[in-house]
Structure 1
Amino acid sequence: MKALILDLDGVITQTAKLHSQAWKKMFDVYLERKGRKEGITYQPLTIATDYRQLIDGIPRYDGVRNFLESRNIHLPEGDPDDEPGKETIAGLGNLKNLYFQEFIKQGMVDVYPDTINWLKQQRRQGLRTAVISASKNCEAILASVGLMELFDVRVDGVVSAKLNLKGKPAPDIFLEAARQLGVKPNEAAVFEDALAGVQAGKAGQFAIVVGIDRTGDAAALKQHGADLVIQNFPTE
């Protein structure tokens, strides 16, 4: 094994809960307003099912589209520059991002100490490391908790957009991280907490795909492609 590729949200930082809260806030307000206007009651977003299955780990606008389609709502794509809250895929996605950025500014980002300690040990032993994320806020999140120097490579939403990488469950983001690290997929391990993420790691034919179970999803992680599932990183 020459390299380790770790997802950001839910593996390194505890931002997965902030993402889910931002998504729920945005969609609950939108559905309540839309339902009141149309005389329809829409089911609000659930974290355990809707977020995990339709949104977690994939590009933001894809998440908006997936969830709305689950409620039989179809909106125009809009433009990335759409005002947050505009009734387009991009506008709603931008509103979610606005809520999430507010959480970051409020200092609400926490890390998983077990991950950081283990990662530092692996780097001392000579392994190269990469962080991946579908989020375009990855750099800001890492900087807010002082972890920029812990990774040799960062492939996030900004890089993915620039290189036109497909989102998870396609393996593109992991394969690009391996390429930048200078290793083959079978020389690297992938660590993911999202179902779409372990699917992507398996599709990329990496040496091992480790599912990180922070929320009691061990069985689902294995079903979606994890070779091994752990709750915490080893202390030694």
Structure 2
Amino acid sequence: MARQIVPSRSFHRLLTSRHYPLASPAPPLRPLLLPKALSLATAAAAPQLPRRGRRPVVAASASAPAPSSSEAEAVPGAWGKVSAVLFDMDGVLCNSEEPSRRAAVDVFAEMGVDVNVDDFIPFTGTGEANFLGGVARVKGVKDFSTESAKKRFFEIYLEKYAKPNSGIGFPGALELIMECKNAGLKVAVASSADRVKVDANLAAAGLPVSLFDAIVSADAFENLKPAPDIFLAASKNLGVDTDECIVIEDALAGVQAAEAAEIRCIAVTTSLDEDALRQASPVFIRKDIGDISINDILCGGSNAYHSM
């Protein structure tokens, strides 16, 4: 048992001599100076008080449930600096993957070849030449002309599926673009589609070309996604290093292209499910562009950071 210490009469006289009435508050205590080794050991064992400006960290207990992933905050600094966002078009800004497949089915129907929309899924995001030519190879179409098929594809697609302001833009696309711009980020379209389709889709979605700091399309490239060329060119056009860019993609080829370019990628499940997209290791996955917040882009979102 700890020994009780009773102040002596001399101690009371000392207080009185220094004009401290016994009923008054005690004088301020001077800090107790400990030997260095003892101070370090004591500090390590002592509970840590919160620093000024930070909320105290409360340990999880049975009476206090842990916050959900939507409530958890991203770790500052873990995500890194972001200066630009590279948006894929089909399946990200525009709900145009399914209409593209239907237009392609129409092209093959005119050639007398029986195909269905699912035949084109493995070639999604790889550009119209591969999109059409890949199915032609699988189906064994003889004397297939890629250029002729592309020309007819664009005619059908623009006439039937991508009329100006026809509403093919995903809800939330314009809002996220504006939030990025208001946050001082540069924004670009980086698509494996030809420029004629990019312009038509943006017009159909009500997204003015003037919104974007750069538009990079397939026309000038030999190697399309999953090669990194389009994303590397977009980064260069914006004057932003790849490690300060974020890609938003829906296609496996696009996520693979971002990985090849060493750019962080947020994937959306508008074309493929999560299991398929995880093959290419996006940093995290959202349902569609409307579920991506500016916090996701700037900080890695709520409990969403994963190393590549």
TM-score tier by shorter-chain length is 0.7 to 0.9
Deviation at 1:215, TM superposition (A): 4.1
**Partner of residue 28, structure 1:** 109
Deviation at 1:194, TM superposition (A): 1.0
Which aligned segments of 4 or more residues in structure 1 are displaced greater than 6 angstroms? Answer: none
Q: For 2:255 and 2:292, how far apart are their aligned partners in 1?
A: 20
Q: Which has the higher helix share?
A: 1
Is residue 133–residue 157 contact of structure 1 (8 Å, CA) maintained in 2? Answer: yes
Q: Choose from 207, 223, 234 the match for 1:177.
A: 234
What residue ranges of structure 1 are gaps of 5+ in the alignment?
35-41, 76-86
**Partner of residue 190, structure 2:** 132
Q: Which amino acid aligns with 2:120?
A: Y
The more displaced of 106-115 and 10-19 is 106-115
Does residue 216 of structure 2 align to residue 148 of structure 1?
no
Which of the two has higher C-alpha Rg? 2
Q: For 1:11 and 1:168, how far apart are their aligned partners in 2?
A: 15
Q: For 2:184 and 2:151, how far apart are their aligned partners in 1?
A: 40
Counterparts in 2 of 1:90-169, with a 5 A limit? 90-102=147-159, 103-105=161-163, 108-136=166-194, 137-144=197-204, 145-158=206-219, 160=220, 164-169=221-226
Counterparts in 2 of 1:1-236, with a 5 A limit? 1-30=82-111, 33=112, 44-47=115-118, 50-54=119-123, 56-75=124-143, 87-102=144-159, 103-105=161-163, 108-136=166-194, 137-144=197-204, 145-158=206-219, 160=220, 164-206=221-263, 208-232=264-288, 233-234=291-292
CA 167–74 in structure 1, closer or farther in 2 if over 3 Å, else same: farther
Q: Which amino acid aligns with 2:186?
A: R
Is residue 15–residue 109 contact of structure 1 (8 Å, CA) maintained in 2? Answer: no
Deviation at 1:141, TM superposition (A): 2.5
Is residue 247–residue 265 contact of structure 2 (8 Å, CA) maintained in 1? Answer: yes
Q: For 1:138 and 1:219, how far apart are their aligned partners in 2?
A: 28
Q: For 1:141 and 1:106, how far apart are their aligned partners in 2?
A: 8
Deviations 1:26-45 (A, max 9, x none): 22342xx25xxxxxxx5x23
Percentage of matched positions with identical amino acids? 25
The more displaced of 119-128 and 105-114 is 105-114
Deviation at 1:69, TM superposition (A): 1.2
Deviation at 1:12, TM superposition (A): 0.6
Deviation at 1:235, TM superposition (A): 5.3
Is residue 101–residue 117 contact of structure 2 (8 Å, CA) maintained in 1? Answer: no
What residue ranges of structure 2 are gaps of 5+ in the alignment?
1-81, 295-308
How many residue pairs end up in the alignment?
Answer: 207
SS in 2 for 1:105: coil
Q: For 1:28 and 1:217, how far apart are their aligned partners in 2?
A: 28
What TM-score, normalized by structure 2, do the two folds share? 0.62
Q: Which amino acid aligns with 1:45?
A: N
Is residue 165–residue 173 contact of structure 1 (8 Å, CA) maintained in 2? Answer: no
The more displaced of 126-135 and 136-145 is 136-145
Q: For 1:93 and 1:177, how far apart are their aligned partners in 2?
A: 24
Q: Which amino acid aligns with 2:169?
A: V
